[in-house]
Chain A
Amino acid sequence: MNLLTSMGVLPLIGAGLVVLLPATNAKLVKQCALLVSLLVATLGITMTVGFERDVTGFQYVEKYSWIPSLGISYQLGIDGISLILILLSVLLVPIVILAGWNESEGGRFSVKTFYILILILETMMIGVFAATDLFLFYVFFEAMLVPVYFLIGGYGSGARQAAAVKFLLYSLFGGLLMLASIIGIFVISGNQIGRTFDITTLSALEIDTTTQNFLFLGFFIAFAIKAPLWPLHTWLPDAAKSATPGTSVLLLGVLDKVGTFGMIRYCVELFPEASRTFTPLIITLAVISIIYGAFLAIGQEDIKSLIAFTSISHFGFITLGIFAMTTQANSGATLYMLNHGFSTAALFLTAGWMVSRRGSSTISDFGGLQRVTPILAWSFFIAGLSSLALPGLSSFVSESLVLVGTYTRYPVAAIIATFGIILAALYILIPVQKALHGPTTAGNENLPDLKKREILAIAPVISLIIALGIYPKPALEIINPAAKSTITKAGYSDPQPLVKGDK
């Protein structure tokens, strides 16, 4: 069996195993889930090692006919961008399981169900990035809502049901708009070259301008909800605040990346002309997201909402990078997706530990944690510094790539976006100061520091943040060819920013 399919099926087998385990033995269930996710992660690393960097186009390709009468096939393959995102997903899952060892308890459903949902979700995450058949992509895109919905609504805190429903309805709305566009492009393919969902073939279609614009919007709105881009972001803070830290990590770290990934893979590559038409609008929205997310983050009193709003700002950067249409910015955007995944994971996990220890998620309830729980405080601090893109940490590389790449084409947008970095210093350093420094506030004196298990979970994340900050080359080598090919497909060229199209 092909490596991609094996990776996708393995978590499902794991979920099946978990079903068979006795419900009373929670520890065994957790160990089994962790073991399976580690196996998948190993496969992911094997795949990365075997990936040929200089080759453009899809690798590890496999194709089986699924619904032949509709031209639908089970078709997988990865390029640099999807490889990076799959790698991110399979690395985060074991970390999330290990870090949130006790998250699954006290939920509405059993411990077993939690891990079954997580493992099913892992399959969906691999599938959604690996699919090279539009229909298959859509199936994963929609189906992955179901486990996330149950994870938020079943194991979260506070107004978790409302948050879960809001998340689901937003996503379904976007997904259905996308469905209309998918049907559109499917019918057009049927008229021109015979029915197919193969994305490489679809990107060669000649679609007239008006149709292309509408189809583009269907896709883009769906992805902008997912990503989330201002003004379609309102579900995210609620969801992130209510979900367990682990779920939030997967939600912001991986699921939201489906939005930005979709913008590259589907919006830009399938509808290059429409992408050019809408670029000014999208760049504007992205810049607004950067500034708006940052300002709101500064004003948050709840630490989980704060991280959610910083992510909105970061997704603004990613979107900006994608639509700047230069190889540099595009590589930067993809690298940003990876780095944001790790730094948000670190932030959410450490914040989650702080919250579970203190029993409150209000920032002002903390104080002086540096003295009481030094390891936890340092972890949070480094994660924060990565989030504000301190040189030497991973986000710095991607953020500067995005800004530099954007500047060559859209100097004004790049300059405004740069203010986002200054605001980032505020929204990270203020909570750091409030929660970690100063006198130890009452009730915090006896908080325990990180346990061995927690250190084991956070250490790889922090090391990756530092390693990718100092030496991002391996990741960039994987990303660059794919980014270049995207830009070429969109009809742009580097470094001389000249619009090659006929308009």
Chain B
Amino acid sequence: MNIQAPALEYGALAPILIILAAAVIGVMVEAFLSAKVRAPIQLAISLGAVVLSLSQVWNLRGSATTTAAVNSVVIDGPVLFMQGTILILSLFAFLLIADIDAFAAQASAVPGSSEEARALESGRIQSEVYPLTLFAIGGMMIFPAANDLITLFVALEVLSLPLYLMAGLSRRRRLLSQEAALKYFLLGAYSSAFFLFGAAFLYGFAGDVSLAGIRSAVSGGPGNDVFLIIGMVSLSVGLLFKVGAAPFHAWTPDVYQGAPTPITAFMAAATKVAAFGAILRIFYVSLGGAVYSWKPILTAVAILTMVVGSVIAIAQRDIKRMLAYSSIAHAGFLLTGVIALNQEGLRASLFYLASYGITTIGAFALVTLVRDSSGEVGDLNRWIGLSKRSPAMALIFSVFLLSFAGIPLTAGFIGKFTIFTAAYESGNIAVVVAGVLSSAIAAFFYVRVIVMIFFTDSKQDTVTVAIPSLYTNLTIWIAAITTLALGLFPAPLLDFISTFSTFAR
């Protein structure tokens, strides 16, 4: 038998390949170098790979749309923008991960065992989190670029599997962390199954797994519409799970809470970009012709997601859980951009993802600083009176919260404004009204946190704001400045995005 080697377009694939190669090197480093020197080397490799990859993305930005790797990957404007966004967010995530003491010294050791204690004592800290993160980033970069359902599924698994592990790596409260990882894995496996099921039906409908093939079948092929509907619904379940849209959001609060905070930051920011990238591509490119079949359902999901996220967040007593529900609500807002199904919607979604991502990273970075003797403090009641101990950090956290709430002069407001404008333009006024009302509900719990930080006196003074390491400090400040800058002068980014916003069909 004679198998012909497929031609690979290395130039277009370079950003992805750099990251995956670095991940492999990272595994080697982990295997062969002494534990004492691993962490800084891993960090250097990871940061180097991300920067190199980012420069490749930058070089590709003007080039024409191409497909690569035998049509399985498409490199077009939105993909490049999303890859760039993911890489920038990852850069900051690595800076947070660099504070390695958030992670278990030896993930394989039983919690509380003597093995664990020994590993901690000897300082032989494993740093597998770096290559795992790199693999996840690689998956995330392929995910929005996938041009057929098989690649899409592979990318989904490449990004998910490392995340399941990473969620369980927390050094403190390890049982909670491991529980989160297991939940995430089990539910993730279900959603993958749904995804595959849907992919199979879509193949049955179109006789083709490529997005272009499905597109032409949707817009007037002979396919069986029942297959299309079942395929669409199941595929959506798999994708909506990843972004944490209701009613598939149940994992989000547990995982956000249990995972080490740097990983939560990474998941909340970068995974959302990748997953929405894929959702946008599928609905804009492949399923656009069947808009009347999915629009009502997706509208209902969007409204439900906003309302569930905003309302349940009110009852949360843990900062990470609250931010988790807030991220659910934001997933609802982002879905309005998908439903809009117009140029405006795509542009607004890209802006929203970028600005939300950077704000989220900053917010979680700040969460890592609020500690007592046993580690991070998530309990909101103990955040009371934080402004007395660290006015600057309290102020910055308020900026992040105001941006989440969508108050003018922050990036969140411009994001919300553009995405609702797109939804209104597409005639979907119900979703705009629901969005506005749930924003009003959401404002309540953001404001409540600000009240706790600024206006309430604490009875106990055991919580401190740790002096941030250089890396964390850098992340927080850059995130805060970006959040404000994008709120005051969004024009450069908006204009930049509009040069990117056509999907290859």
Residue in A108, A143, A153 whose beta carbon sits within 8 Å of that of B407 in the complex: A143
A168 and B425 contacting across the interface, CB-CB below 8 Å: no
Identify the interface centre among A68, A108, A139, A176: most chain B CB within 10 Å of its CB.
A176
A20 located at the interface, meaning its Cβ lies under 8 Å from any Cβ of chain B in the complex: no
A169 and B490 contacting across the interface, CB-CB below 8 Å: no
The range of chain A's interface size is: 20 to 34
CB-contacts of A70-119 with B (<8 A): 70, 108
> What B residues does A147 contact at CB under 8 A?
none
> What B residues does A160 contact at CB under 8 A?
455
B466 located at the interface, meaning its Cβ lies under 8 Å from any Cβ of chain A in the complex: no
* A405–B29 CA distance with the chains assembled, in angstroms: 85
Residue in A69, A70, A138, A154 whose beta carbon sits within 8 Å of that of B455 in the complex: A154
A169 and B444 contacting across the interface, CB-CB below 8 Å: yes
A169 and B443 contacting across the interface, CB-CB below 8 Å: yes
Q: Given the interface contacts A139-B408, A143-B408, A180-B433, does A165 sit within 8 Å of B421 by beta carbon? A: no
A470 located at the interface, meaning its Cβ lies under 8 Å from any Cβ of chain B in the complex: no
Q: Given the interface contacts A143-B409, A187-B425, does A179 sit within 8 Å of B417 by beta carbon? A: yes
CB-contacts of A139-178 with B (<8 A): 139, 142-143, 145-146, 150, 153-154, 160-161, 164-165, 168-169, 172-173, 176-177
Residue in A66, A69, A142, A172 whose beta carbon sits within 8 Å of that of B498 in the complex: A69
Distance (whole angstroms) from the CB of A114 to the closest CB of chain B? 14
* A161–B433 CA distance with the chains assembled, in angstroms: 29
Q: Given the interface contacts A70-B418, A161-B456, A180-B432, does A142 sit within 8 Å of B437 by beta carbon? A: no
* A176–B402 CA distance with the chains assembled, in angstroms: 14
Distance (whole angstroms) from the CB of B476 to the closest CB of chain A? 20
B440 and A153 contacting across the interface, CB-CB below 8 Å: no
* A108–B456 CA distance with the chains assembled, in angstroms: 9
A183 and B409 contacting across the interface, CB-CB below 8 Å: no
A67 located at the interface, meaning its Cβ lies under 8 Å from any Cβ of chain B in the complex: yes
> What A residues does B414 contact at CB under 8 A?
67
* A276–B90 CA distance with the chains assembled, in angstroms: 55
B436 located at the interface, meaning its Cβ lies under 8 Å from any Cβ of chain A in the complex: yes
CB-contacts of B299-326 with A (<8 A): none
B37 located at the interface, meaning its Cβ lies under 8 Å from any Cβ of chain A in the complex: no
B185 located at the interface, meaning its Cβ lies under 8 Å from any Cβ of chain A in the complex: no
> What A residues does B425 contact at CB under 8 A?
187, 190
> What A residues does B436 contact at CB under 8 A?
176-177, 179-180
A168 and B447 contacting across the interface, CB-CB below 8 Å: yes
Distance (whole angstroms) from the CB of A223 to the closest CB of chain B? 16
Distance (whole angstroms) from the CB of B81 to the closest CB of chain A? 15
Q: Given the interface contacts A183-B417, A190-B425, does A142 sit within 8 Å of B455 by beta carbon? A: no
Distance (whole angstroms) from the CB of A133 to the closest CB of chain B? 13
A108 and B417 contacting across the interface, CB-CB below 8 Å: no
> What A residues does B405 contact at CB under 8 A?
172
> What A residues does B433 contact at CB under 8 A?
180
* A161–B413 CA distance with the chains assembled, in angstroms: 25
* A271–B436 CA distance with the chains assembled, in angstroms: 21
Residue in B421, B439, B490, B495 whose beta carbon sits within 8 Å of that of A176 in the complex: B439
A186 located at the interface, meaning its Cβ lies under 8 Å from any Cβ of chain B in the complex: yes
Distance (whole angstroms) from the CB of B214 to the closest CB of chain A? 31
> What B residues does A161 contact at CB under 8 A?
451, 455-456
A188 and chain B: residue at smallest CB distance: B424
> What A residues does B443 contact at CB under 8 A?
168-169, 172-173, 176
> What A residues does B176 contact at CB under 8 A?
none
B494 located at the interface, meaning its Cβ lies under 8 Å from any Cβ of chain A in the complex: yes
> What A residues does B64 contact at CB under 8 A?
none
A169 and B491 contacting across the interface, CB-CB below 8 Å: no
A67 and B494 contacting across the interface, CB-CB below 8 Å: yes
A160 and chain B: residue at smallest CB distance: B455
B408 and A153 contacting across the interface, CB-CB below 8 Å: no
* A126–B15 CA distance with the chains assembled, in angstroms: 50
Distance (whole angstroms) from the CB of A272 to the closest CB of chain B? 22
Contact with B along A377-412 (1 / 0, CB 8 A): 000000000000000000000000000000000000
CB-contacts of B387-422 with A (<8 A): 402, 405, 407-409, 413-414, 417-418, 420-421
> What A residues does B417 contact at CB under 8 A?
70, 179, 183
B197 located at the interface, meaning its Cβ lies under 8 Å from any Cβ of chain A in the complex: no
A187 and B421 contacting across the interface, CB-CB below 8 Å: yes
Residue in A70, A184, A187 whose beta carbon sits within 8 Å of that of B494 in the complex: A70
B494 and A183 contacting across the interface, CB-CB below 8 Å: no
* A179–B409 CA distance with the chains assembled, in angstroms: 14
A68 and chain B: residue at smallest CB distance: B491
Residue in B420, B454, B491 whose beta carbon sits within 8 Å of that of A153 in the complex: B454
Distance (whole angstroms) from the CB of A236 to the closest CB of chain B? 18
B439 and chain A: residue at smallest CB distance: A176
* A232–B443 CA distance with the chains assembled, in angstroms: 19
A173 and B440 contacting across the interface, CB-CB below 8 Å: yes
A176 and B440 contacting across the interface, CB-CB below 8 Å: yes
> What A residues does B451 contact at CB under 8 A?
153, 161, 164-165
A211 and chain B: residue at smallest CB distance: B429
Distance (whole angstroms) from the CB of B264 to the closest CB of chain A? 27
Q: Given the interface contacts A108-B454, A180-B433, A187-B425, does A172 sit within 8 Å of B440 by beta carbon? A: yes
Distance (whole angstroms) from the CB of B380 to the closest CB of chain A? 15
* A165–B446 CA distance with the chains assembled, in angstroms: 11
> What B residues does A186 contact at CB under 8 A?
421
A186 and chain B: residue at smallest CB distance: B421
> What B residues does A67 contact at CB under 8 A?
414, 489-491, 494
CB-contacts of B422-461 with A (<8 A): 424-425, 429, 432-433, 436-437, 439-440, 443-444, 447-448, 451, 454-456
B441 and chain A: residue at smallest CB distance: A173
Identify the interface centre among B417, B490, B498: most chain A CB within 10 Å of its CB.
B417
* A108–B394 CA distance with the chains assembled, in angstroms: 14
> What B residues does A176 contact at CB under 8 A?
436-437, 439-440, 443
Residue in A139, A142, A150, A180 whose beta carbon sits within 8 Å of that of B420 in the complex: A180
> What A residues does B424 contact at CB under 8 A?
183-184, 187
Distance (whole angstroms) from the CB of A224 to the closest CB of chain B? 16
Distance (whole angstroms) from the CB of A503 to the closest CB of chain B? 25
B409 and chain A: residue at smallest CB distance: A143
B432 and A183 contacting across the interface, CB-CB below 8 Å: yes
> What A residues does B489 contact at CB under 8 A?
67
* A108–B454 CA distance with the chains assembled, in angstroms: 9
> What B residues does A179 contact at CB under 8 A?
417, 420, 436
* A31–B454 CA distance with the chains assembled, in angstroms: 27
B448 and chain A: residue at smallest CB distance: A165
* A177–B436 CA distance with the chains assembled, in angstroms: 7
> What B residues does A143 contact at CB under 8 A?
407-409
A177 and chain B: residue at smallest CB distance: B436
* A154–B391 CA distance with the chains assembled, in angstroms: 14
> What B residues does A190 contact at CB under 8 A?
425
Identify the interface centre among B440, B443, B455: most chain A CB within 10 Å of its CB.
B455
Distance (whole angstroms) from the CB of A471 to the closest CB of chain B? 41
Contact with B along A119-148 (1 / 0, CB 8 A): 000000000000000000011001101100
A70-B418, A184-B429 are known; give 15 further A-B pairs, CB within 8 A. A69-B495, A69-B498, A70-B421, A70-B494, A108-B455, A142-B408, A150-B454, A154-B454, A161-B455, A164-B455, A165-B451, A177-B436, A180-B420, A180-B436, A186-B421
The 9 closest A-B pairs by CB, nearest first: A139-B408, A180-B436, A67-B491, A161-B455, A173-B440, A142-B408, A176-B436, A172-B443, A176-B440
Q: Which residues of B contact A (CB under 8 A)?
A: 402, 405, 407-409, 413-414, 417-418, 420-421, 424-425, 429, 432-433, 436-437, 439-440, 443-444, 447-448, 451, 454-456, 489-491, 494-495, 498
In the assembled complex, 25 residue pairs joining A and B whose CB atoms fall closer than 8 Å, in A order, are A66-B491, A67-B414, A67-B494, A69-B491, A69-B494, A69-B495, A69-B498, A70-B494, A138-B408, A139-B408, A142-B413, A143-B407, A150-B454, A153-B454, A161-B451, A161-B456, A165-B451, A169-B447, A173-B440, A176-B437, A176-B443, A183-B417, A184-B432, A187-B424, A190-B425
Q: Which residues of A contact B (CB under 8 A)?
A: 66-70, 108, 138-139, 142-143, 145-146, 150, 153-154, 160-161, 164-165, 168-169, 172-173, 176-177, 179-180, 183-184, 186-187, 190
